[in-house]
Structure 1
């Protein structure tokens, strides 16, 4: 670990946060040994801090290890920005699902990643790596491209000059081509993904903008499988939902802040 991370692990809070953040979006359960490996804490320290987190309902202990507990969900739902966004967005997302009967996402940007705030899918939804509260790289998702196109120049530069991980054979990893796609998003108000995050998955997304300032607040997308789903046929519905959501958020007292750079 680096100097800053080492210093943070010297505090009780730093140790607790390290254990909580050791859980990835796909992790349901982690044994103590894995928490020790991922955090760099000693076994005794990890065991003691985990026990404290269990007492505070932030972790749950099982015979096979630890899992995140409901106390974290309660705290997360008190986060003002995300809660306001979700409360206002849900009727628009539900309407969009009823129009398309395909998987609908709402996402925001954190750093250079997409954070999925909501996901609505029916019985026939296509297998997707996204999940509420999960993260994905921006460069390989439609919702991420919609967010990235409207992000501050330094965020766009960081992504374009950083490593563009190839998740599938279709992932765009050429910075020049990705930049062209981002410019196209600014022109059309739509972003597309064609099997770039997951084989067999197509997606269309639109940015949720503050109509006054033009600031990016979130993005909305519709996803479906190759063979049945034609993203272009849902472009109008996605763009309309994103525009209506942006206007509604702008009228709400206090509004929703744009993600930090």
Structure 2
């Protein structure tokens, strides 16, 4: 909940609190759980959940539990960098997956976090925490470092101001170190994030440009950290990112290594 004592929650606040009660770990909630997690009275929760169910934003199963409805997915697919980006990227993500049989991801930046909009994974791929629609702090991920490196200065400074969440002993947690990493990413055109979210995995990421030459997304492949030389993956990841960029109409300016 993000309201203050000075301003009581509006109806929109209450609806968003209700929807925000669902998580990947808790995709199904009873009415009482919804009420408790959203911080709303049971009567208010019952009324709002009923209205959202009638609109298709929530689904109610036979035992009375609630889940997020498909109508919300339809609306979310209209978000910037949604369906068009995913459709443009999929052939290249699939090629990258066939070349590695590991986790292949497409992400966009939202403030200090990355949102994963697509992921392909195989049965034998290394375990990752990501999921489609999931978020992670940008500073700790390969795709996030790529996106931060090309983000506006004010976004970078907000992230550098911290705090920088630590997942493992390898997670970048010092602003000066992150600043150096972002400079390296801008210079090299790719990022390698080794064991920063999980010690068993590393990622290689590269930027995706749109028709205005802005970096609008990043792709990565996540592989086992042990026994992998990430430099061998850089050409394939950058080639996939360039392919997506071309489909999005990105120009090919002099000086960029394509």
| TM-score normalised over the length of structure 2 | 0.89
Tell me the SS of whatever aligns to 1:3. coil
1:28: how far off? 1.8
Which 5+ residue runs of structure 1 have no aligned equivalent?
Answer: 253-261
Contact 1:217–1:246, Cα closer than 8 Å, also in 2: no
Moved more, 58-67 or 229-238: 58-67
What residue is the counterpart of 1:191 in the other structure?
191
**Aligned pair count?**
249
> Residues 9-158 of structure 1 correspond to what in structure 2 (within 5 A)?
9-11=9-11, 13-62=12-61, 63=63, 65-79=65-79, 81-158=81-158
Contact preservation (8 Å) 1:25, 1:135:
no
After TM superposition, where is structure 1 displaced by more than 4 Å over at least 4 residues in a row? Answer: 4-7
- 1:111-154 Cα offsets, whole Å, 9 max, x none, are 11101010001121111110011111101100100000000000
Distance of aligned partners of 1:251 and 1:160 in 2 relative to their CA distance in 1, 3 Å threshold? closer
- For residues 251 and 233 of structure 1, do their structure 2 counterparts lie closer, same or farther at Cα, with a shift above 3 Å needed? closer
- Correspondences of 1:110-259 after superposition (within 5 Å): 110-210=110-210, 213-250=212-249
TM (norm. structure 1) is 0.88
Counterpart-to-counterpart distance in 2, 1:230 and 1:5: 54
Q: What's the CA shift for 1:213?
A: 4.2
- Greater mean deviation of Cα atoms: 32-41 or 142-151: 32-41
**In structure 2, do the counterparts of structure 1 residues 38 and 110 end up closer, same or farther at CA, with 3 Å as the change threshold?**
same
CA shift at 1:64, angstroms? 6.3
> For the residues of structure 2 that align with 1:80 and 1:136, how far apart are their CA atoms?
19
Check 1:181–1:206 CA distance in 2 against 1; reply closer, same or farther (3 A cut).
same
Once the two structures are TM-superposed, the CA of residue 191 in structure 1 deviates from its matched residue by 0.7
State the Cα distance separating 1:87 from its structure 2 match: 0.9
2:255 is aligned to none
Rounded to whole Å, the distance in 2 between the matches of 1:228 and 1:6 is: 55
Query: Matched residue of 2:105: which SS?
Result: strand
Query: Any idea what SS the aligned residue of 1:81 has?
Result: coil
Deviations 1:193-252 (A, max 9, x none): 111112311100001123x64311100000011225432211011011112211210269
Q: C-alpha distance in 2, partners of 1:27/1:162?
A: 28
Report the equivalent of 1:3: 4
Unaligned stretches of 5+ residues in structure 2: 252-258
Contact 2:209 2:250 in 1 (8 A): no
What SS class does the counterpart of residue 186 from structure 1 fall into? helix
**Alpha-carbon deviation of 1:67?**
1.6
**What RMSD over aligned residues (CA atoms) do the two structures have, in Å?**
2.1
Contact 1:193-1:202 within 8 A present in 2 as well: yes
